[in-house]
Structures are given as C-alpha cells and as structure tokens.
Amino acid sequence: MQEKQFLSPADVARELSVSTATVLRLIHAGQLPAIRVSERIYRIPRASFEMFSAGTLPQPGDLATIKDVAGPVPGLSADEILPRRKLAAGSRR
C-alpha cells in the first residue's frame, strides 16, 4: 500500500506520541509546515513531517515569504513560504 502524501494533525500526533493540540500549536507557531485546507482543517506534507522528525527543517527565520521575492513566482500564492537564498559575499539583494 502506498504511503499518504499528506498527514492529518491526528496522524502526526500519533507518530510523535503527543496530543493533536500540540501538533496544532506547532503548526500555528510556524515550526511544522502545514497546508490549510479550510478554516479548521490542516494537512502536513509527509516530506515536511519527515524533515521535522529528523530535525532538518529550516528555522522560521531562515524562510522568506513570497512577498520577499522580487517578481511573481508562477503557481505560488502570496502566503506560501520559499527558502531564503544565501547571497554571495558582497552581493546585494
């Protein structure tokens, strides 16, 4: 059977042995990336969960919103997060 691409907060809570409320707090704090499906429904991409579990997820300060990027990025909405690019020494943004 194929693994799910997206996990519910309850799935993540079960995997981490914590409560669903704890998972929702992590999502709202920006520590666990999730997709907001509706006003009360969130889904966590499996890749994000695996990175979170391994401790390799970028910290919130290392991320830039699409508003920080010059020019439109096709396929992304205004609230999606992009990795912040490291600039070479002496270069300007």
Q: Is residue 30 part of a domain?
A: yes
| Whether pLDDT at 73 is above 80 | no
Q: Is residue 10 part of a domain?
A: yes
Mapping DSSP to helix (H, G, I), strand (E, B) and coil, where does residue 81 land?
strand
Measured between alpha carbons, how far is residue 19 from residues 11, 41, 51 in Å? 10, 16, 19
| Residues of the domain holding 73 | 6-83
Name the one residue in this structure whose structure tokens are 């830039």. 64
> Can you give the CATH number for the domain in which 58 is found?
1.10.1660
Q: Are 80 and 72 in contact (CB under 8 A)?
A: no
50 compared with 93, residue with greater pLDDT: 50
Q: Is residue 88 part of a domain?
A: no
Total domains in the fold of the chain: 1
DSSP 7: E
Nearest to 50 by CA among 9, 10, 12: 12
Residue 87, both tokens? 């600039």
pTM value is 0.60
